[in-house]
Structure 1
Amino acid sequence: MVTTDDRAQRLLESAAKFRAPFQLDPTLALYSPQDNVDSLAHPRIAAWMNFIGRDYVPKLPAAREPVLLLLPCTRTKPYILSTEHRRINAALLEAGFVPAAPAEPVLLAFRAEGEPEALFSLAPLVHPDGVVVHRAVISEPLGLVPYEHMLAWPGGTSPAVLYDDPGLFEDRGNAVSPWRADCTAERVSATRWKWGPAEKRAYVAMHNAMAEAVATALARFGGVYARRISWVAPGLTHRSFVLAKAERAAHGIVATRQVGAERLALTGANDLLPPALALTALPTRPQCAAALARLAQRLGRSPAEAAGHFGRGGGDATPLALPELLEDLLAAVLPGPRARAA
């Protein structure tokens, strides 16, 4: 029998992901697709969606080439303190980018020995060559989180430092809320569950709501960027939020989800955006294969032997944070001779 004590234990695990002074809002602990769908009516989430979808406008330094760089959300809150974001941002700084504003004082408390203060700035990054990178995070249940509003926004404390949401990854086996009356998941082991029809249907609803949220925002202000790059891991839900139907096969991302006798379509932001405002989803599968080969060479192993290291991003991260793939990110952000010089 599953009881509310199970949720209490999950809340303890969620709270442990936060570093003081940042704290979990228990009403924003979302453990299943159904929790995610319900969260869209949460006052904090609804207000955020209205802000990003209707009011928010990026404020960028003057630039010849402004670039939007969408990064994935992370279990660590704030995102910028995660291993993944630290490594990505460090690579941008090493390539010559400089933040347009100082680091956030509250974040400097987490600075490790040898890390530059610039690593903890939430401001756009400016390159001497005229490129400005505006960082944002693609997230459920928030859709789009501009870096500068990671900690605060006009509504107060940003919900981006208040929530925990592992709820849209079925293969992890724990993305369920068995204490809910509408839970249809089946327990397959002591620690793993298999989604039922209610979870699958809610997944499609939340997936498409997040794609719409991203597209609604970019339809308003995406034209300020010369390039729009989504740097999210292949095969994960965040990549699926972005891709149009015609792009999915090349990325190994399904276009539909079977729910009982129905096959429900998955919509990506690029389905809803005009081609001129579409996001470029990177890294590509060929880039990942080439990066794995370079990693294997660096480690002195075969690609098969290096695959585990690749999948873990060399530690507590994803492949997005590996030097071999960060070469491809820099080439996209600083195309041509500039990336090679950097």
Structure 2
Amino acid sequence: MVTTDDRAQRLLESAAKFRAPFTLDPTLALYSPQDNVDALKHPRIAAWMRFVGQDYVPSLPEAREHVLLLLPCTRTKPYILSTEHRRINAALLAAGFAPTAPAEPRLLAFRTAEEPEALFSLAPLTHPYGVVVHRAVISEPLGLVPYEHMLDYPGGTSPAVLYDDPGLFEDRGNAVSPWRADSTALRVSAARWKWGPNEKRAYVEMHNAMATAVAEALGRFGHLYTRRISWVAPGLTHRSFVVAKAERAAHGIVATRQVGTERLALTGANDLLAPELALTALPTRLQCAEALARLATRLGRSQAEAAGHFGRGGGDATPLALPELLEDLLAAVLPVRVAKAA
């Protein structure tokens, strides 16, 4: 029998993902697709959606080129303190980028001795070659989180430092809320569950709501950027939020979900955006394959032996944070650097 005590245990696990003084709002702990759909009506989430979708406009310094860089949300809150974001941002700084504003004081408490203060700035990054990178995060249940509003926004504390949402990751086997009356999940082992029709239907609804939220925001201000890059792992939910129907096969992402006798379409932000505002989803599968080969060479192992290291991102991260893939990110963000090097 599943009880509310099970949710209480999950809340303890969620709270451990936060770095003090940032703390979890228990009403924003979302453990299933149904929790996610309900969250769209949560006052904090609804207010955030209105802000990003209707009011927010990025403040960008003048430059020859402006790049929007969408990064994935992370289990660590705030995101910038995660291993993944730390490594990505460190690579940008090492390539010559510098923040346009000082580090956020509340984040400096987490700085290690070898880390520059610039690593903890939430401001846009500028490069001497005339390129500005504006960072944002693609997130469920928030859609789009501009880096500069990771901690605060005009509505108060940003919900980006208040929530935990493992509820859309079906493959983990625990993205369920079995204490809910509408749960149709089936327990298949002591620690794993299989989604039922209600979970699958809610997943499609939430997935498409997130794609719509991203498209709504970029439909207003996407023209401010020369390039719009989504740096999210291939095959995963965040990539699925982005790519259009015609792109899905190349990215190894399904276009529909079977729910009972229905086949429901999955919509990506690029389906809803004008072609000139579309996001480029990177890294490609070819880039990942080539990065794995380079990693194997660096480690002196076979590709099969290096695959585990690749999948873990060399530690507590994802492949997105590996030096081999960060080479591809820098080439996309700063192609002029590659041209000058040649």
CA contact (8 A) 2:229 2:282 kept: yes
2:226 maps to which residue? 226
CA contact (8 A) 1:45 1:159 kept: yes
Deviation sequence 1:173-220 (CA, Å, 0-9, x none) = 010000000000000110000000000000000000000000000000
Counterpart CA distance in 2 for 1:337 and 1:113 is 29
Residue 266 in 1 paired to residue 266 in 2?
Answer: yes
Going from structure 1 to structure 2, the CA distance change for 1:207 and 1:69 (only over 3 Å counts) comes to same
1:284 maps to which residue? 284
CA contact (8 A) 2:124 2:132 kept: yes
2:59 maps to which residue? 59
CA drift of 1:341 comes to: 4.0
CA drift of 1:21 comes to: 0.4
CA drift of 1:19 comes to: 1.0
2:127 maps to which residue? 127
Residue identity in the other structure for 1:178: P
1:13 maps to which residue? 13
- Structure 1 vs Structure 2 CA RMSD: 1.0
Counterpart CA distance in 2 for 1:338 and 1:281 is 20
1:173 maps to which residue? 173
Residue identity in the other structure for 1:71: L
Counterpart CA distance in 1 for 2:264 and 2:23 is 36
Counterpart CA distance in 1 for 2:341 and 2:7 is 52
Counterpart CA distance in 1 for 2:341 and 2:102 is 26
CA drift of 1:113 comes to: 1.7
> Which residues of 2 match residues 320-339 of structure 1 at below 5 A?
320-338=320-338
Query: What's the secondary structure of 2:21's corresponding residue?
Result: coil
CA contact (8 A) 2:129 2:336 kept: no
Counterpart CA distance in 1 for 2:341 and 2:58 is 29
Counterpart CA distance in 2 for 1:336 and 1:160 is 33
Query: What's the secondary structure of 1:71's corresponding residue?
Result: strand
> Which residues of 2 match residues 30-41 of structure 1 at below 5 A?
30-41=30-41
Question: Can you give the 5+ residue segments of structure 2 that lack an aligned partner in the other structure?
Answer: none
CA drift of 1:336 comes to: 4.2
Counterpart CA distance in 2 for 1:263 and 1:221 is 33
2:100 maps to which residue? 100
1:251 maps to which residue? 251
Counterpart CA distance in 1 for 2:145 and 2:8 is 28
CA drift of 1:340 comes to: 6.6
CA contact (8 A) 1:97 1:128 kept: yes
Counterpart CA distance in 2 for 1:9 and 1:65 is 48
CA contact (8 A) 1:331 1:340 kept: no
CA drift of 1:337 comes to: 4.1
CA contact (8 A) 1:208 1:267 kept: yes
Residue 311 in 1 paired to residue 331 in 2?
Answer: no
Residue 163 in 1 paired to residue 163 in 2?
Answer: yes
CA drift of 1:339 comes to: 6.8
1:294 maps to which residue? 294
Counterpart CA distance in 2 for 1:119 and 1:275 is 33
2:88 maps to which residue? 88
1:68 maps to which residue? 68
Query: What's the secondary structure of 1:7's corresponding residue?
Result: helix
Counterpart CA distance in 2 for 1:156 and 1:339 is 43
Aligned residues: 342
Counterpart CA distance in 1 for 2:183 and 2:230 is 33
CA drift of 1:112 comes to: 1.0
Counterpart CA distance in 1 for 2:34 and 2:338 is 46
CA drift of 1:324 comes to: 0.1
Question: Can you give the 5+ residue segments of structure 1 that lack an aligned partner in the other structure?
Answer: none
Normalised by the length of structure 2, the TM-score is: 0.99
Counterpart CA distance in 1 for 2:17 and 2:250 is 34
CA drift of 1:245 comes to: 0.2
CA drift of 1:239 comes to: 0.1
Counterpart CA distance in 1 for 2:143 and 2:164 is 14
Counterpart CA distance in 2 for 1:178 and 1:333 is 43
Query: What's the secondary structure of 1:174's corresponding residue?
Result: coil
CA contact (8 A) 2:68 2:225 kept: yes
Residue identity in the other structure for 1:285: R
CA drift of 1:52 comes to: 0.3
Query: What's the secondary structure of 1:296's corresponding residue?
Result: helix
CA contact (8 A) 2:208 2:267 kept: yes
Deviation sequence 1:256-277 (CA, Å, 0-9, x none) = 0000100000000000000000
